[in-house]
């Protein structure tokens, strides 16, 4: 029996009916590398079963303390059922990238059963019309609650299920498992009360965390103000999620970061995301006149707000600003950082340094769908795996009805930087898995003649949608 930390428990307490703290890892595999060129569902199920003993996450469920007198505990699930947690589905024909993103978003949005271990794995087949994927590819959606794993620092469940070699070692014999019975509720109550009496200072922590929110609430009620950098993403989110992705070559991002001396790969990714947001909001006539900021989280840098330079038309100036890790300065005519809202979160997820295999099937794609919440309705997941940088935005259907248009803006921002980095060579488009539609392939290898027409169509639709948006203050 292990107790959750206050940090982990906060993800449980923040769950609502329309916004939960689920994190869904998206992995796509080439099963031609598996023995016999085929990996069946029963083999995947047996593989997962052989790894259950490697991590307590798989068989542990929550046990809450009565009256919430203390943080919950992890206890072993006496009725653990592997086939409940591992599920098998297939996309309907034609099985294109848009269908996959819609299905993944729906799965991600559904809340996990808090009376069972907080994870689910979906094996998805039928990815038959996605260009740039080997024939017969399948996907794994690994959904887990943020309270169970610290996704910013270590992907334990990913490490446990995969191997670094194509030929995986012989399956380990299943270890005997005898679940321990959970303690009675009365003992948890007594323990919680004793801890409160012996450590009264523990009460200060929640009060300190609550104080900024209380001040903000009082300010909004007594003296409501509208931060000048607020966007459509600083609104109440719905229960419907949208997800899309763009893949880029790592060496091309390296050439972009060299545009500004001292810039890092992180800086280059932030600059591309900032340029994408500038384009998208500008096409909707919703770009604020002050810089937007992002809450950036990574394993090797402290979590902090970073100015994105969205008021700067020059991409090099934007990258230089981000290189200096400029902090938000507040809105013109107003004092205090409290008037600055983070327009999004950008989270770097640790990815494997070498290619990984699941039962011999090689992982060719790795990204994630992140949680969003009221006031922060846009989250970027960034991964770097197998020579590719993957940028995957998550939002809700009401705030981002056109996720493909948004990722197209991110791609256009990338192309702008790449043209500056390689002014002589023709730019190479971003790689995005998608259906083999007549308008172009997923690798982005469009003709020069086709690009202006496609871009114009996108702008026309965005302008049409933009007229339905109001710039009035949101309450």
Q: For 389-446, write each residue's pLDDT tens digit.
A: 999 999 999 999 999 999 999 999 999 999 999 874 445 555 555 444 433 333 333 3
Q: What is the dihedral of CA 465, 466, 469, 473, to 10 degrees?
A: 160
Which two tokens mark 362?
């090689």
Question: Does residue 429 belong to any structural domain of this protein?
Answer: yes
Q: Is the pLDDT of residue 277 over 70?
A: yes
Q: Is the pLDDT of residue 233 over 90?
A: yes
Find out whether 274 and 343 touch, Cβ atoms under 8 Å: no
Report which of 393, 417, 298 is spatially closest to residue 349, judged by C-alpha positions.
298
pLDDT-derived band at 220 (thresholds 50, 70, 90) equals: low
* Side-chain-facing half-sphere of 181: CA atoms under 13 Å: 3
Claim to verify: residue 407 and residue 322 sit in the same structural domain = yes
Report which of 236, 350, 358 is spatially closest to residue 297, judged by C-alpha positions.
350
Claim to verify: residue 259 and residue 294 sit in the same structural domain = yes
Claim to verify: residue 296 and residue 401 sit in the same structural domain = yes
Full domain range(s) for residue 196: 185-215
Claim to verify: residue 327 and residue 408 sit in the same structural domain = yes
- CA distances to 75, 232, 237, 316 from 245, rounded to whole Å, are 36, 20, 20, 24
Question: Does residue 4 belong to any structural domain of this protein?
Answer: no
Enumerate the β-bridge partners of residue 76: 60
Alpha-helical segments (H) within 259-386: 265-283, 315-323
- How many independent structural domains does the chain possess? 2
Question: Does residue 92 belong to any structural domain of this protein?
Answer: no
Question: Does residue 261 belong to any structural domain of this protein?
Answer: yes
The model's pTM:
0.82
Question: Does residue 167 belong to any structural domain of this protein?
Answer: no
Residue carrying the six token digits 């982990």: 8
Question: Does residue 408 belong to any structural domain of this protein?
Answer: yes
* Side-chain-facing half-sphere of 364: CA atoms under 13 Å: 18
Find out whether 103 and 124 touch, Cβ atoms under 8 Å: yes
Question: Does residue 413 belong to any structural domain of this protein?
Answer: yes
Q: What does the angle CA 340 – CA 346 – CA 347 come to, to the nearest 5 degrees?
A: 135
pLDDT confidence of residue 131: 85
Claim to verify: residue 458 and residue 416 sit in the same structural domain = yes
Claim to verify: residue 245 and residue 270 sit in the same structural domain = yes
CATH number for the domain including 456? Answer: 3.30.559
- Find the range with the poorest average confidence among 6-15, 53-62, 181-190, 329-338: 329-338
Claim to verify: residue 296 and residue 436 sit in the same structural domain = yes
Report which of 323, 327, 350, 351 is spatially closest to residue 266, judged by C-alpha positions.
323
Claim to verify: residue 297 and residue 195 sit in the same structural domain = no
Find out whether 294 and 342 touch, Cβ atoms under 8 Å: yes
Claim to verify: residue 234 and residue 257 sit in the same structural domain = yes
Claim to verify: residue 315 and residue 381 sit in the same structural domain = yes
The string of pLDDT tens digits covering residues 297-354 is 876 667 889 999 999 999 999 999 999 876 565 544 334 444 678 999 999 998 888 8
Find out whether 105 and 241 touch, Cβ atoms under 8 Å: yes
Burial of 227 (C-beta count, 10 Å sphere; 0-12/13-18/19+): middle
| Strand 388-396 relative to strand 379-385, pairing | antiparallel
- Look at the alpha carbons of 283, 285, 286, 287 in this order and tell me if their dihedral is positive or negative: positive
Q: Is the pLDDT of residue 13 over 50?
A: yes
Claim to verify: residue 248 and residue 303 sit in the same structural domain = yes
pLDDT confidence of residue 156: 83
Question: Does residue 149 belong to any structural domain of this protein?
Answer: no
- The more confidently predicted of residues 202 and 330 is 202
Residue carrying the six token digits 């679940």: 179
* Long-range contacts, stretch 102-106, CB < 8 angstroms, 24+ apart: 104/24, 104/26, 104/139, 104/141, 104/243, 104/369, 105/240, 105/241, 105/242, 105/243, 105/369, 106/241
pLDDT-derived band at 149 (thresholds 50, 70, 90) equals: confident
Claim to verify: residue 198 and residue 320 sit in the same structural domain = no
């Amino acid at each position: 029996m292990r107790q959750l930390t206050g940090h982990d428990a906060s993800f449980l307490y923040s769950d609502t009916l329309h916004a939960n703290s689920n994190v869904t890892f998206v992995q796509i595999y080439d099963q031609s590398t598996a023995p016999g060129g085929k990996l069946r569902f029963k083999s995947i199920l047996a593989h997962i079963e052989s790894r259950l003993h490697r991590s307590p996450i798989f068989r542990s469920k929550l046990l809450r303390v009565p009256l919430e007198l203390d943080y919950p505990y992890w206890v072993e699930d006496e009725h653990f059922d592997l086939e409940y947690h591992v599920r098998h589905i297939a996309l309907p024909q034609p099985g294109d990238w848009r269908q996959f993103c819609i299905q993944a978003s729906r799965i991600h949005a559904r809340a996990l059963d808090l009376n069972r271990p907080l994870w689910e794995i979906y094996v998805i087949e039928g990815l038959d019309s996605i260009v740039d994927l080997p024939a017969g590819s399948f996907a794994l959606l690994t959904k887990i609650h943020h309270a169970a794993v610290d996704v910013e620092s270590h992907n334990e469940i990913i490490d446990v299920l995969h191997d670094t070699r194509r030929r995986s070692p012989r399956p380990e014999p299943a270890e005997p498992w005898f679940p321990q019975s959970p303690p009675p509720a009365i003992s948890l109550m007594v323990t919680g009360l004793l801890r409160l009496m012996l450590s009264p200072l523990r009460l200060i922590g929640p009060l300190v965390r609550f104080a900024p929110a209380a001040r903000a609430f009082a300010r909004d009620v007594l003296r409501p103000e509208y931060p000048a950098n607020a966007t459509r993403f600083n609104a109440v989110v719905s229960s419907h999620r949208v997800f899309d992705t763009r893949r880029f070559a790592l060496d091309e991002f390296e050439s972009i970061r060299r545009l500004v001396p001292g810039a890092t790969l992180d800086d280059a990714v932030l600059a591309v995301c900032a340029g994408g947001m500038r384009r998208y909001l500008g096409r909707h006539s919703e770009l604020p006149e002050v810089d937007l900021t992002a809450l950036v989280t990574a394993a090797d840098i402290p979590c902090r707000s970073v100015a994105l330079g969205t008021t700067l038309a020059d991409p090099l100036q934007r990258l230089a600003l981000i290189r200096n890790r400029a902090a938000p300065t507040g809105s013109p005519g107003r004092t205090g950082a409290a008037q600055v809202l983070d327009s999004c979160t950008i989270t770097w997820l640790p990815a494997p340094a070498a290619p990984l295999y699941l039962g011999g099937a090689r992982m060719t794609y790795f990204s994630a769908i992140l949680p969003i919440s009221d006031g922060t309705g846009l989250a970027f997941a960034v991964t770097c795996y197998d020579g590719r940088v993957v940028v995957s935005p998550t939002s809700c259907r009401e705030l981002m009805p056109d996720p493909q248009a948004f990722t197209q803006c991110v791609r256009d921002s990338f192309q702008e930087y790449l043209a500056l980095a390689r002014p002589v060579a023709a730019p190479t488009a971003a790689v995005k898995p998608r259906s083999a539609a007549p308008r172009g392939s997923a690798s982005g290898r469009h003709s020069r003649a086709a690009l202006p027409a496609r871009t114009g169509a996108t702008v026309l639709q965005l302008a049409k949608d933009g007229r339905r948006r109001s710039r009035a203050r949101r309450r």
